[in-house]
Amino acid sequence: MTEEAPQLVILDCDGVLVDSEKLAVEIESEMLTAMGWPLSPLDVLERFVGRSDAYTLQQIEAGLGRRAPEWPARYAERLTAAFRAHLRPVPGVEAALDALRVPTCVASSGPHEKIRLTLGLTGLLERFDGRIFSATDVARGKPAPDLFLHAAAAMGADPSACVVVEDSRAGVEAARAAGMRSLGFAGGLTPREWLEGPGTTVFEDMADLPGLVTAPPPSGRPPAPRRAPLRQGEAG
Ligand SMILES: [Mg+2]
């Protein structure tokens, strides 16, 4: 099979462009435990990473057994402070982006304000200005396909000619639902088994990204076995 460049590379933000997930899961774990719902950073990773803010708040209120209207502002305040002090690009991502020869855009579960903040703090914003899409732009967040299909349409790309780069289970599921090939980045917190599945190539080093973007899609291989969700009723 010959190499074929995709029309568009759609990049997740948190955990793919910016190294934000470790800061986020530690803060969420600490805050929820203090509020009366003891969750470890791994619990938080399993339950919330890659999901929209709306979904996360709904799950937190169910877990706490009460409304928590104070959560979004308090969490955003803590997270913003941590980002300003500690946020860095994902190791190797700038060189990988420099080597890509195809159009790119960002598609994140976070709101636009957060995406612009994190990309700005890490010096990546100018690369993507005007090509940033948020789950708040569409009806359903990841793992639904809406956000990736919206990004492809806005960028004038055929969904089947897009490649998605994701580090969360909800993200690779959204890519599959959108009919897009995906590259699952397991170089951060996410175990590679969470990303494996039909149409997904798992990788752990950003230096491999440019080559994987133009590599032919995996074919003739049976889908990897899906592991049961670690928490009943939790997919992402
Ligand atoms: Mg992510």
Q: How far is the CA of 5 from the centre of ligand 1 (A)?
A: 23
Alpha helices in 130-200 (DSSP H): 146-155, 169-177
Mean pLDDT, the chain, rounded, equals: 91
Question: Which residue in the block uniquely carries the two structure tokens 């979904």?
Answer: 55
pLDDT in tens, 132-186: 999 999 999 999 999 999 999 999 999 999 999 999 999 999 999 999 999 999 9
Asked whether residue 225 carries a pLDDT value surpassing 70, the answer given is no
pLDDT in tens, 79-95: 999 999 999 999 999 99
pLDDT in tens, 104-130: 999 999 999 999 999 999 999 999 999
Letter string b/e over residues 211-221, b meaning 16 or more CB atoms within 10 A of that residue's CB: eebebeeeeee
Q: How far is the CA of 108 from the centre of ligand 1 (A)?
A: 7
Q: How far is the CA of 107 from the centre of ligand 1 (A)?
A: 10
Q: How far is the CA of 2 from the centre of ligand 1 (A)?
A: 30
CB of 148 closer than 8 Å to CB of 111: no
Q: How far is the CA of 85 from the centre of ligand 1 (A)?
A: 20
CB of 117 closer than 8 Å to CB of 144: no
Tell whether omega for the bond before 38 is within 30 degrees of 0, i.e. cis.
Answer: no
CB of 222 closer than 8 Å to CB of 198: no
Model confidence, pTM: 0.85
Q: What is the pLDDT of residue 228?
A: 43
> Could you give all domains of the chain from N- to C-terminal order, each with its CATH number?
8-19+88-214 (3.40.50.1000), 21-86 (1.10.150)
Question: Which residue in the block uniquely carries the two structure tokens 């999901």?
Answer: 51
Q: How far is the CA of 70 from the centre of ligand 1 (A)?
A: 24
| SS3 at position 17 | coil
CA dihedral 157, 160, 166, 169 (to 10 degrees): 140
Q: How far is the CA of 55 from the centre of ligand 1 (A)?
A: 15
State the pLDDT confidence band at 234, using cuts at 50, 70 and 90.
very low
Q: How far is the CA of 33 from the centre of ligand 1 (A)?
A: 23
Q: How far is the CA of 1 from the centre of ligand 1 (A)?
A: 30
